[in-house]
Amino acid sequence: MFFYLWNQNNFRTTLLIILTLTITRMKTLLKQRPFYTLLMVMLTAGLLFSSCSGSKDTRTDQGKTVEAGSDETIKIGVLHSLSGTMAISEVSLKDVIELAVEEINASGGVLGKKVEPVIVDPASDWDLFAEKSKELILDKKVAAVFGCWTSVSRKSVLPVFEEHNSLLFYPVQYEGEECSANVIYSGATPNQQLIPAAEYLMSEKGGGYKKFYLLGTDYVFPRTANKILKAFLLSKGIPKENIIEEYTPFHHQDYQTIVSKIKKFAAGGKACVLSTVNGDSNVPFYKEFANQGLTAAMCPIMAFSVAEDELRSMDTEFLVGHLAAWNYYQSVDSPENKKFVENFKAFCERKGLPGGKNRVTDDPICWAYTDVYLWKNAVEKAGTTEVEKMRPALYGLEFNSPGGLVKMSEKNHHLAKPVMIGEIRSDGQFDIIWKTDGLVEPEPWSKLTSPDKDCDHVRHGGTYTLND
């Protein structure tokens, strides 16, 4: 016990002060007994030496102070809503990040150090996202942050990460038209989700649909996604009158009027819904869809923000046959994915998390998990957590994710990966009914709406105008 205390700086300092006061009060005694004087001087000198040379060496590593000692850890931030309208989707991302950290620490950590997740709750409040990101970067001194779901939350924190040159790993599909040096985008770009889904629905195999109802939550992702989808549909000869666009606010609950419009729109046949509805609004939307007698056979919903985790809280009896476009499903048949699903369920049960062993995995969960390993591998490749040195180590990095082999772009901070269309089953899982032959390269700037723009952080410093 004494040797443990001796190695603590505060203990040595306190003991030194006590000895100094003792010497001051014992001047008379020490003058009379030179041996005690010599002993006190030697002990005090030893304490001074050990307090200086025995203390841990500290250094600053890209906005993060770390101690080079046996108990050293590397902190990472977890920035996902644990309450509010987006908690239905984001809580599981926090959980799977903790699983990845547990696995990494069990295998030796990163650079020989344990990884410590620092978890905050931005509570589905976009302004609070920015405040919490500052807290993680400036107060908690994290090496990187893993978080955000909605594009409005990502755009809220973006200035913070760029100002302080920190790194955000963002695991959710989004609308593109962004390519920050301080964000790693592992979610799908429009050409990795939106366009393949629309192409599938227009194909003979997908049903040959000719009328499209674009329904979304009123914020950045759905509006930009639908701008791209409309440009694509029009380029394929779909008449303007066959495209309807409508939005609802976050946490919207009453879909009776909107579903009535969809029902009327679908009455002539060959109509479908492209849905970018987010969060807990999906529950009343699908419920009302079924209540009004609409089925997947009459008017299928192709969802871009509904996956297995959202389906856990929904009555799937009336959802059978509806579709979703993602880059991963729990039903992916591979040894790596089966192990991942098994580990996640066991982790949730062991930690006493809601749902326990009945928890599911889905696309954002897969990429949130993958993000932690991409960061780990890049840090170990670079030999440091420092952003300017670690970031280039990500370029071209491959990882065998639960969804299969993926590859980080060598220039634009996005992930190349396969695209899949899934059909909802009665058990809340998906049958994969279509898949690309290989990896689809990411396009942060859609060629449909921004044909003059591209992104290259290596040669052009980020977004640039073509032919400049």
pLDDT over 80 (residue 70)? no
pLDDT over 60 (residue 2)? no
pLDDT over 60 (residue 439)? yes
CATH class of 72-191+332-417: alpha beta
Please state the rounded mean pLDDT for residues 436-444.
96
User: Worst-scoring range by mean pLDDT, 27-31, 73-77, 232-236?
Assistant: 27-31
What kind of architecture, by CATH, is found in domain 192-326?
3-Layer(aba) Sandwich (3.40)
Please state the rounded mean pLDDT for residues 346-353.
97
- Confidence band of 254 (pLDDT split at 50, 70, 90): very high
> 315 or 133, which is more confident?
133
Which residues, 6 or more positions from 443, have their beta carbon under 8 angstroms from its beta carbon? 176, 189, 190, 191
pLDDT digits (tens, 9 = 90+) for 328-342: 999 999 999 999 999
The separation between the first and the last C-alpha atoms of the chain, rounded to the nearest angstrom, is: 68
Output the pTM of the full model: 0.83
- Confidence band of 313 (pLDDT split at 50, 70, 90): confident
> 428 or 20, which is more confident?
428
Instruction: Show me where the domains of the chain are located.
Output: 2-55, 72-191+332-417, 192-326
d(CA 445, CA 227): 13
Please state the rounded mean pLDDT for residues 38-55.
40
pLDDT over 90 (residue 302)? yes
pLDDT over 50 (residue 365)? yes
Apex 213 CA angle, 429 and 151, nearest 5: 70
**If you count them, how many residues does the chain have?**
468
Please state the rounded mean pLDDT for residues 284-295.
96
B/e letters for 401-436, b = 16+ CB within 10 Å, e = fewer, are bbbbebbbbebbbbbbbbbbbbbbeeebbbeeebbe
- Could you check whether 72-191+332-417 and 192-326 share the same CATH topology? yes
d(CA 426, CA 184): 35
